[in-house]
């Protein structure tokens, strides 16, 4: 089987893109980053892609009369590149209905909170301010809502008394870099089955094989 072709959309720093690029270079990883698209010309993500010899394109939203026109252009670019799975990695624009419909269960996003808690922006700050004891990150399929699609993988981390937005974000980010490649691997191996809101993972350690302990904070 040829590796799954990923099209990564990113607007900024690109550390999740980097995690995907690194994962793709490990032996046996069943996917490759085919193309990176950014709506921001100066996004470090574009630089990270080019450094690895991956095609990187800036698509300027200002060059299009509407969001739909921008979305159509990006879809076209991804299709021409032969992309199988679209991965949002810090992509700061909302994608419209038509874009989502063009890639049914073929768009993933990484979100730095345990959805459905804290959708949207600045969620690490909101988690600290709210006083939750556990937060984390979520990889999910993208549907028409904001951070509402079926959940594929989540990782939990404790929120500590002396946490700031930054320290919590850093703890969560380490887990993001682990679970995004994991979710893509599961997809590439054909092990994900979407049943309504639920994503079943074939052959995953569940039930008796899952670790017995729960994450309790404070322990
Ligand atoms: C990450 O926290 C991701 O979960 C969110 O945006 C941030 C992007 O960071 N969607 P990076 O550009 O991947 O470093």
Could you tell me if 89 and 118 lie in one domain? no
Q: Residue 67's pLDDT is what?
A: 96
Could you tell me if 75 and 122 lie in one domain? no
Closest residue by Cα to atom 14, ligand 1, is 15
Write the CATH number for 75.
3.40.50.170
Could you tell me if 116 and 218 lie in one domain? yes
Could you tell me if 86 and 151 lie in one domain? no
- pTM exceeds cut of 0.85: yes
Q: Residue 212's pLDDT is what?
A: 64
Please report, for residues 62, 86, 87, 107, the alpha-carbon distance to residue 142 in angstroms, rounded to integers and kept in the order given: 24, 10, 10, 5
Q: Residue 209's pLDDT is what?
A: 60
Ligand 1 first shell, C-beta below 6 A: 10, 12-16, 89-90, 110-112, 173, 176
Count of the separate structural domains present in the chain = 2
Q: What is the pLDDT along the chain (219 residues), one digit of tens a residue?
A: 899 999 999 999 999 999 999 999 999 999 999 999 999 999 999 999 999 999 999 999 999 999 999 999 999 999 999 999 999 999 999 999 999 999 999 999 999 999 999 999 999 999 999 999 999 999 999 999 999 999 999 999 999 999 999 999 999 999 999 999 999 999 999 999 999 999 999 998 765 566 667 888 887
Domain holding 115, by residue range, is 110-219
- Which among 10, 56, 90, 122 is the best mutation to test ligand 1's pocket, defined by most ligand atoms within 8 Å of the CB? 90
- Which among 14, 173, 175 is the best mutation to test ligand 1's pocket, defined by most ligand atoms within 8 Å of the CB? 173
Concatenated DSSP letters for 13-70? --HHHHHHHHHHTSTT-SEEEEEEEESSTT-HHHHHHHHTT-EEEE--GGGSSSHHHH
Could you tell me if 91 and 148 lie in one domain? no
Q: Are 136 and 175 within 8 A, CB to CB?
A: yes
């Amino acid at each position: 089987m040829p590796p799954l072709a990923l099209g990564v959309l990113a607007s900024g720093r690109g550390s999740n893109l980097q995690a995907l690029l690194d994962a793709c270079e490990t032996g046996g990883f069943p996917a490759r980053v085919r193309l990176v698209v950014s709506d921001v010309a100066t996004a470090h993500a574009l630089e990270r892609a080019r450094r690895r010899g991956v095609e990187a394109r800036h698509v300027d939203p200002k060059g299009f009369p509407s969001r739909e026109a921008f979305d159509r252009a990006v879809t076209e670019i991804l299709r021409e590149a032969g992309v199988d799975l679209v991965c949002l990695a810090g992509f700061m624009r909302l994608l419209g209905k038509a874009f989502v419909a063009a890639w049914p269960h073929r768009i993933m996003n990484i979100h730095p909170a345990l959805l459905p808690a804290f959708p949207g922006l600045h969620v690490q700050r909101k988690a600290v301010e709210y006083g939750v004891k556990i937060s984390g990150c979520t990889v999910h399929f993208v549907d028409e809502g904001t951070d509402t699609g079926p959940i594929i993988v989540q990782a939990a981390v404790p929120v500590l008394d002396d946490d700031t937005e930054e320290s919590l974000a850093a703890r969560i980010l380490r887990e993001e870099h682990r679970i995004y490649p994991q979710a893509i691997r599961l997809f590439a191996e054909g092990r994900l089955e979407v049943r309504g809101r639920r994503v079943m993972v074939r052959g995953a350690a569940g039930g008796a094989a899952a670790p017995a302990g729960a994450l309790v904070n404070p322990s």
